[in-house]
Structure 1
Amino acid sequence: MYCYVYDEFLQDRRYERDLSLIETRLTDLGIAGKIARLALFRDSHELIRDEIRNGATTIVAVGNDRTLRRALDAVGDTKTVVALLPVGPQGVLAGLLGMPVGVLSCDVLSARIIEELDCGEVNGRRFVQSVRSEDASFVARTKNYTLTPLKKSSFEVRNLAEPDDAGTQSPVDGRLSLIIRSTRFGLLGKRQDVSIVPFQEMMVLFEKMTEVMVDGESLPGKDFAFRVIPKALRLVTGRTRKF
């Protein structure tokens, strides 16, 4: 049974036509379901958990990256299938997962290609994409080695991200990647060095209290424990997914 969780921003009248087209197409495809609407003073975690207890087997986050993250947080370890049905301005997850914006995503949802993706965890908080901090002094430790950058560097732990100068990280390989970027100056000007370290568990210890961004949300602290949770997420993806 499908449950469609509408983000609160979709109450804006500008989305009425898009939602009407989507609801009609879902009915045509035979995958219409209950609609649950998020609201400012409504606990999204409890709302989604209640729907799962009432028999929902697929939670469809209708909205954007934030909507999907809230759905994934609520689903937790239940192994319930989750999908993103993108409406309105998007971040990067729609493209990474191969989900087109608007009514076209209904057909992708109907095809029901389900991938089991890894999830990252930092200090007990799960993340889909990455954790990052800029210009920090830190030490990274695993059971086998210790890494100490010689100068302040930008720090990122990735699970899923768009390809860039650090290449492509796979969310299905059972590992996270620590990416360290540092700038050095030479005769030819400024140059950025990039180091990539795959791992399963790691402690990152900062020199002083700092703030890292976990999928775009702030998490303050000084010591951060990372681990990968293999195949923790069951997500509907399209054929154009980027992993």
Structure 2
Amino acid sequence: MNPAFAYLYDEFLNEKRYEREVNDIEAGLASRNIDGRVARLAMFRNTKELVEDVIHHGAKNVVVVGNDVSLGRFMWHAPGLDAAVGYLPVGKPSHIADVLSIPSGPAAVEILAARFLEQFDIGRVNDDYFLTEIIVKDPDAELVIDGQFSIKPIDGGSIIVRNLGAQKQAGEPESNAKDGKLEAIIRPRAVEERSSRRKKQGISPKEQTILTFKEAVIYVPHEIEIEVDGNMRKGDRFNISVDTKKLDLITGRRRR
């Protein structure tokens, strides 16, 4: 067992259908001498304490085993840790793995073993962090950018704040998580509804507004739920900013 590596397994991996895939991953880790301490992410367990515990025991690489939602829950506590972050995607959704050029299942072990590090900016919403995006779907939501101007979607569409990635079916360019900025995508409801019906058609850049910023606030006159890296958060005010070069992430992107 390699003390420099620790693995955080999502609890859904206990399901029988994932047993073979997890066993193959563990065999690959052992064959490369990068198997390590294992801890379990659970709905009612304090993730921050779990992460701090594996770091305390000497881990220099903390690896999330699960899907994008698992990684999103971990990201709330990842910045500031004295460790690199790895991702072994199992199950869906796995969009973040695609963005990072990490294959699903046992093939991801090769990426982890190569340990190619990239340094990314990371977004912040109130007291939480996010790697990819925030999605807000409420007709009353208003985005105030850099304290200078405000904008709302036409007819109650959606506000997307993105740090990394893109919706490829919408024809969007991939957000750059190394430029010290976030992107706000303001999408009218009619455009969003049409896109959901005709995913292959995509969205013209003229049909949505894309802005870059460093700080913003989303105001809503009542409590709502927003999606943060696939996880839900409640509130009526969301302070958003970007922390530059905050996260060391193991990726497969040098193979491009």
Q: TM-score, normalised to structure 1's length?
A: 0.86
User: Are the counterparts in 1 of residues 111 and 251 from structure 2 also a CA contact under 8 Å?
Assistant: yes
Kept in 1, the 8 Å contact 2:157–2:190? The answer is: no
- The 2-side partners of 1:225 and 1:116 are apart by 23
- Structure 1, unpaired ranges of 5+: 186-190
What secondary structure, in the 3-state scheme, does the structure 2 residue paired with 1:74 have? coil
Pair 1:34–1:144, CA change in 2 (3 A): closer
Please give the alpha-carbon distance, in whole angstroms, between the structure 2 residues aligned to 1:155 and 1:68: 22
Which structure has the greater CA radius of gyration?
1
Q: Which residue of 2 is the match for residue 202 of structure 1?
A: 216
- Where structure 2 has 5 or more consecutive residues not aligned to the other structure, the ranges are 192-203
Distance 1:41 1:207, change over 3 A: closer
- 2:194 corresponds to: none
Aligned residue number for residue 153 of structure 1: 157
Is it true that 1:58 corresponds to 2:61 in the alignment?
yes
83, 107, 111: which is aligned to 1:108? 111
Map Cα deviations across residues 81-131 of structure 1 (whole Å, 9 max, x no partner): 111111233331111111111111111111111111111111222111111
For residues 178-237 of structure 1, the C-alpha deviation after alignment (integer angstroms, 9 at most, x for no partner) is: 11112579xxxxx97211110001123335543322223333333321101111111110
Alignment RMSD? 2.5
| Contact kept? 1:209, 1:220, Cα under 8 Å | yes
Native 8 Å contact 2:146 2:214 kept in 1: no
TM-score with structure 2 length normalisation? 0.82
Match of 2:133 in 1: 130
Identity fraction in percent:
34
8 A contact 2:225–2:233 mirrored in 1: yes
Aligned CA distance change for structure 1 residues 3 and 45 (closer, same or farther; 3 Å): same
Runs of 4+ in 1 over 6 A off after TM superposition: none
* Residue type of the alignment partner of 1:219: R
- Per the TM alignment, residue 146 of structure 1 is displaced from its structure 2 partner at its CA by 0.6
- In the comparison of the two structures, how many residue pairs are matched? 237
- In structure 2, the partner of 1:170 is 176
